Structure 1
Amino acid sequence: MFKSDNYHITTMTKTFLYLFLICSLLACNKKVKTEILNSEENQKSELKYAEGFSITKTTNYTIIEINQPWPNAEKSYKYVVISKANAAKTSFLKDEFDGIIITPIEKIVVTSTTHLPALELLEEEETLVGFPGTHYISSESIRNRIDNNKVRELGKNEGINTEVLLELNPDLVVGFGIDGGNRSLEIIKKSGVPVIFNGDWVEHSPLAKAEWIKFFGVLYNKEKKADSIFNHIEKDYLATKQLALNATTKPSVLSGAMHNDIWYLPNGNSTEAQLLIDANVNYLWNDSEGKGSLQLNFESVFIKARDAAIWLNPSNYSSLDALKNGNENHAMFDAFKNKNVYSFTNTTGKTGGVLYYELGMARPDLVLKDLIKICHPNLLQDYKPFFFKPLE
């Protein structure tokens, strides 16, 4: 009896130990798999300057998170970029992401001219099928597509012609918004077309804005090409910034102009001010705090800048006469009297679109070279300004 009982106890003990060992191995294996999965899901692509978005790679798809699509945004937006093949065998929880973007993208709609240079640099402009306000577009290659009816007019960004857009049936719409209240984009999303927000314009440094080409690199599965393009722009910008340090003088610079008794000019922490700092000039409001525009009265501007050597970006005035007619006080500044007023307003495309508003954000290296040519002409003797021209 005791022998039999001992036998059963021993057998039960062995069985228990065996089951415990199997469970431990399974748990261990599950833990290993989980750790591998987690390590794969946390492979974030490095961004050097941009803070408004992030890229996370997993085995089967990429996640783009837009942290700041517009100023003071209260939430971020997450999107999955996934191939057709992987999408067929992958499921996502409802409301886990704000959009599922299937690649390859064959038809796209973008809503800001700042999005267009990335398409061209990545050699994907032929995927563009619609745009709100095509007359603003300066790019020659895209204008040719417009002239050949390959890019449809979609009205205004704030009120996109959704009927025409849905007829185009794009794979993706890249949206631009100042507060997230664009009803047209909401209608498009509810119709089943993915809408992803692009916040390149919210960034606070020239190179951060330019780095958004990596956002489009993910969408087109051209991340290496996007990295290479940005690295070239960054290298050129930093080399130009270094060159500016060789200047023997720092000319004083005024910016902006009067509108309805208010003078608007860049704040000290704005992208425009950063470009002037990197051009090694004395921007007279460099020490002001803030990232947007200053709004000043004429007297305060005149006291500080009446003797400024150079006047840059006097709003949208296209000539000295227009600047004087806009407000007679403009003619009181030395820079006006000496005809040292420079603007990008007159560098336009075939239908009047200002090239700077389209390409300037993507190519800050060219903008910086323009500023150095104007402010330190001896440093770039053979360079011809790309955007800026003196007002006649």
Structure 2
Amino acid sequence: MATNRFYALFFCVFAIVCLLGCGKKNKSLSVEQNSTKTELKYAKGFSVQKNATFTVIEVTSPWPSSDNNFKYALVPKEKLATITFPRDAYDAIVPTPVEHVVLTSTTHIPSLEALGVVNTIIGFPSTDFISSPAARKRIENGQIKELGTNENINTEIAMALQPDVVIGFGINDTNKAYEAIKKSGIPVAYNGDWVEQTPLGKAEWIKFFAPFFQKETLADSLFHTIEKGYLNAKQLAQKSQKKPTVLTGGLYKDVWYVAGGKSWMAQFLQDANTDYLWANTDHKGSIGLSLEVVLDKAQKADYWLNPSMHITYKELQSANAHHQQFEAFKQQRVFSNAIKKGAKGGLLFYELAPQRPDLVLKDLIAIMHPLLLPDYEPHFFMPLE
């Protein structure tokens, strides 16, 4: 009898555990198994899976060489109370559509503006970097609060704002402010758009933002337009019989940093049908070189892009007299993306260019192959004064 009672008790406990634990787990698995995956043609750092109940976003490259993946469940507010998630199954549960958001990188702003939800932004670190006129108006009206810096966010202000989500930007997972915000119950979702190495890959991150606001259809349409514009411009560039040689970058503390051959900028220059002098290198970021090495390789380059932060030939000459030895300097074919600034000095290029690679490519084509776009007005790259 004791043995029978033991087995009966064991069976009851087992059944309860299955109902409370196994049932939740199976429910979550079945939901994800019945989901449809959003098509991503270029972006490598995230995925989106949507089902009848909620959407799962997984970020696999929040920063370079990351070993961490992050999964976020985006749940319509009216369905939130009906779903039970397994403990620790997701890094954040975010009710949608998001009505109040804190952003942490200027590259996030153009996507929200394109989706028509810039009015949801309520906080940002280092607001002076923002160039968007629509966002600046909200800052001036006190609708976007200053939060300090991304490395040292004022958590008291951020938490007092009670955003539905904080879209985080980080170079690693050691941001203590994000941890404090998460502990207060506010979801934090990492965005890794800056890690993408291709122009269209960066732009496709608009599909990361869209599910937070239930704007997936609009995001697909917007990206399709950008993609079409970019590919058409790339095809136009191939009509030029000449491939001008190009030098990039400039000196910083006696080291000249040029764009690596696998970098974002190198891809633009390839698609613009140019001969980028460091195209055959394997670097995804910049390459540090001496002035002597750069002079030897690029003294006769047809064009020179982004000479550090210098925006006039006088500045360039004053910074280092050797700059005058470059043919591009002599022929006044030096162009910079640091000339167009926002109202508080933020660089428009670093905010908008990742979202609008079609405009970047057209700028470069108009510079390198002026006969192909004779009446084009540049958006980012301007000649030095």
Map 1:230-269; keep pairs closer than 5 Å.
Answer: 230-269=223-262
Contact 1:324 1:331 in 2 (8 A): yes
Question: SS at the partner of 2:57?
Answer: strand
Q: Name the count of aligned residue pairs.
A: 360
**RMSD of Structure 2 on Structure 1 (CA):** 1.5
Q: Which residue of 2 aligns with 1:130?
A: 123
Supply the distance in 2 between the matched residues of 1:45 and 1:259 (Cα, whole angstroms): 42
Larger radius of gyration: 1
Q: Which residue of 2 aligns with 1:273?
A: 266
Matching residue's letter, 1:287: N
**How far did residue 41 of structure 1 move?**
3.1
Q: Which residue of 2 aligns with 1:47?
A: 40
Among candidates 96, 104, 108, match of residue 115 of structure 1:
108
Matching residue's letter, 1:328: A
Supply the distance in 2 between the matched residues of 1:327 and 1:173 (Cα, whole angstroms): 43
Asked whether 1:348 is paired with 2:378, we answer: no
Name which of structure 1's ranges 137-146 and 39-48 shifts more when overlaid on structure 2: 39-48
Map 1:282-321; keep pairs closer than 5 Å.
Answer: 282-321=275-314
Matching residue's letter, 1:110: L
Contact 2:122 2:143 in 1 (8 A): yes
**How far did residue 137 of structure 1 move?**
0.7
Identity of aligned residues (%): 50
Q: Which residue of 2 aligns with 1:146?
A: 139
Supply the distance in 2 between the matched residues of 1:306 and 1:157 (Cα, whole angstroms): 39
Supply the distance in 2 between the matched residues of 1:254 and 1:182 (Cα, whole angstroms): 36
Matching residue's letter, 2:91: D
Map 1:331-370; keep pairs closer than 5 Å.
Answer: 331-370=324-363
Supply the distance in 2 between the matched residues of 1:275 and 1:38 (Cα, whole angstroms): 40
Question: SS at the partner of 1:56?
Answer: strand
Compute the TM-score of the two structures, normalised by the length of structure 1. Answer: 0.90
**How far did residue 40 of structure 1 move?**
5.1
Supply the distance in 2 between the matched residues of 1:179 and 1:264 (Cα, whole angstroms): 23
Compute the TM-score of the two structures, normalised by the length of structure 2. Answer: 0.91
Query: Which 5+ residue runs of structure 1 have no aligned equivalent?
Result: 1-32
Matching residue's letter, 2:175: N
Matching residue's letter, 1:206: P
Q: Which residue of 2 aligns with 1:56?
A: 49
Q: Which residue of 2 aligns with 1:74?
A: 67
Asked whether 1:388 is paired with 2:381, we answer: yes
Asked whether 1:184 is paired with 2:177, we answer: yes
Q: For residues 268-325 of structure 1, what are the alpha-carbon distances to aligned partners after superposition, in whole Å with 9 as ceiling and x for unaligned? A: 0101000000000111111111211111111111011001111011121121122222
**How far did residue 38 of structure 1 move?**
6.2
Name which of structure 1's ranges 289-298 and 355-364 shifts more when overlaid on structure 2: 289-298
Contact 1:41 1:56 in 2 (8 A): no
Matching residue's letter, 2:273: N
Q: For residues 107-153 of structure 1, what are the alpha-carbon distances to aligned partners after superposition, in whole Å with 9 as ceiling and x for unaligned? A: 10000000000110000000000110111111111111111111111
Matching residue's letter, 1:285: W
Q: Which residue of 2 aligns with 1:9?
A: none
Contact 1:40 1:57 in 2 (8 A): no
